[in-house]
Structure 1
Amino acid sequence: MPLMNLIITLIVVGVLLWLVNTYIPMDRKIKSILNAVIVIAVILWLLSAFGILGNMAGIRVGG
């Protein structure tokens, strides 16, 4: 994955997270859980993109 795509994706995710935190009213606890989930997902995606984590295609969530 080219570095420019990585940077653009991180900027888009950051802006979307900021918009959700700023303009969608929700409880502070829910907002912090949402932020944590998104940050963990982005970190896992970055680790996978740089080849540190390996291929995540075999990971299944749920059933």
Structure 2
Amino acid sequence: MGLKTIWKDYKVLIVMGTSLGLVHWGWFYIKSSPIFQVKTEDFVPEPGIVAYVMQSDHKNKEK
């Protein structure tokens, strides 16, 4: 089984496997790039329902 036979029988597997590997490597490289990193603080915003319920409780306590 020579290289010509392997290439002929497994051409799609070789091309698609290499392409898939390179795409995943490129995506990982892009995601880890400092240009695309979001600078976040430790602040986690409250969901809207929590803020609404807290306002409702505050209004009910004033009455």
TM-score between both structures, scaled by the size of structure 1: 0.39
Higher helix content, 1 or 2: 2
Rg: which structure is higher? 2
Give the alignment's TM-score, normalised by structure 2.
0.39
